[in-house]
Amino acid sequence: MLALAFNPKDLTKFASASMDKTIKIWNLTTDGKANMTLTGHKSSVNTIDFYKGDRPHFASGSDDKTIKIWDYQTKQCLTTI
């Protein structure tokens, strides 16, 4: 795991960025298994941060030189920069 970010709207949920090109969403109240795994980057995911506004979004940055904006409720990548 390269980075970790807690959801500011629900501190029992957090996301991790990893060298295996994935982002995992976790819940502190579950049995230690990720709730979901998001894929889309072509290289290690180095950073992640939740949007602090009113939308269920977060951003991830990767060694593939892209930033992806995700909707964690629909599990979809909204855009790639």
The set of residues, in sequence order, having a beta carbon less than 8 Å from that of 64 and lying 6+ positions away, is 41, 42, 43
Number of domains into which the chain is organized:
1
Residue 20 has a pLDDT of 97
Domain carrying residue 47? 3-80
Report d(CA 78, CA 2) in Å as an integer: 22
CATH code of the domain covering residue 69: 2.40.10
Report d(CA 73, CA 55) in Å as an integer: 10
Does this model's pTM top 0.85? My answer is yes
The set of residues, in sequence order, having a beta carbon less than 8 Å from that of 51 and lying 6+ positions away, is 57, 58, 59
Q: What is the residue-averaged pLDDT of the chain? A: 95
Q: Are 68 and 60 spatial neighbours (Cβ–Cβ below 8 Å)?
A: yes
| pLDDT single digits (tens) 2-11 | 899 999 999 9
Question: Is the pLDDT score of 1 beyond 80?
Answer: no
